[in-house]
Amino acid sequence: MERTHYEPSPGNGRNNGRTHGHRTASAKRNGKRRVPVCPRCRENDQVIPILYGFPTHDAFLKADRGEVYLGGCEITPYSHYCKRDDREF
Ligand SMILES: [Zn+2]
């Protein structure tokens, strides 16, 4: 496929400072984790997911860093935990 190459005639003064291909890079990401907001404080910066079942070594480390909340083997209807309010929801 060949496109018609348009060449502006020289000397018309319109060829100065063309912003060719300059686009604002949109940092739109769909892969961002969706964290629900806490029903109490309405924030999600302290909300971590609850991990059910027997925790793996990795899960223990994450729990130690406060990245996940170990829910144990008892499954509750809650899926997230707010560290600020110490509340599962
Ligand atoms: Zn909260």
Find the domain containing 61 and state its range: 47-88
**67 domain residue, yes or no:** yes
**61 domain residue, yes or no:** yes
**80 domain residue, yes or no:** yes
Quote the number of domains for the chain: 1
**52 domain residue, yes or no:** yes
pLDDT of residue 58: 96
**10 domain residue, yes or no:** no
**55 domain residue, yes or no:** yes
CA 47 to ligand 1 center in whole angstroms: 7
What pTM does this model have?
A: 0.62
CA 46 to ligand 1 center in whole angstroms: 7
pLDDT along the chain (89 residues), means of 10: 66 59 52 84 97 95 97 93 97
pLDDT of residue 74: 87
pLDDT of residue 27: 47
**24 domain residue, yes or no:** no
CA 78 to ligand 1 center in whole angstroms: 14
Distance CA 27, CA 22 (A): 15
Q: Is 64 helix (H, G, I), strand (E, B) or coil?
A: helix
Distance CA 58, CA 62 (A): 6
**60 domain residue, yes or no:** yes
